[in-house]
Structure 1
């Protein structure tokens, strides 16, 4: 997927739909590696940086102490 994004010059954010230039797009693991996800094309998506930050925070919120 990374190569396809570079070749296309960008990608649409899978979360918000914004078109983002290749240098500003993040390739995100849909199921994080830390949660058993694999590093394969079927487990990655293009996200803009703000959406990637939100998703990462949501994916790992359970690890934070409740206080």
Structure 2
């Protein structure tokens, strides 16, 4: 499997993802008022995930660091037919 090159996520895409996810961590549910939020790839680039907006979601820093470059099976359902 080839690793997808990392690109800088444009500010307008970051803003869209935060709004779409209601400024809430998609793993633990914490909000922007409770913690620092980040944008994360659902399917990691190291596993062939794409830089497409549908492969991005909001995670808090703690959940993002715990996930690392692993795939969280709770989010794979978005990509199943």
Measured in 2, the distance between the counterparts of 1:3 and 1:11 equals: 9
TM-score (ref. length: structure 2): 0.58
Give the aligned CA root-mean-square deviation in angstroms: 2.7
Alignment counterpart, residue 30 of structure 1, candidates 39, 42, 63? 42
TM-score (ref. length: structure 1): 0.68
5+ unaligned residues in a row in structure 1: which ranges?
61-67
**Higher RCO (Cα < 8 Å, 6 or more apart):** 2
More helix by share: 1
5+ unaligned residues in a row in structure 2: which ranges?
1-12, 72-81
Count of matched residue positions in the alignment of Structure 1 and Structure 2: 56
The runs of at least 4 consecutive aligned structure 1 residues that moved more than 3 Å come to none
Q: Residue deviations 1:39-59, cap 9 Å, x none?
A: 0111011000000011116x1
More strand by share: 1
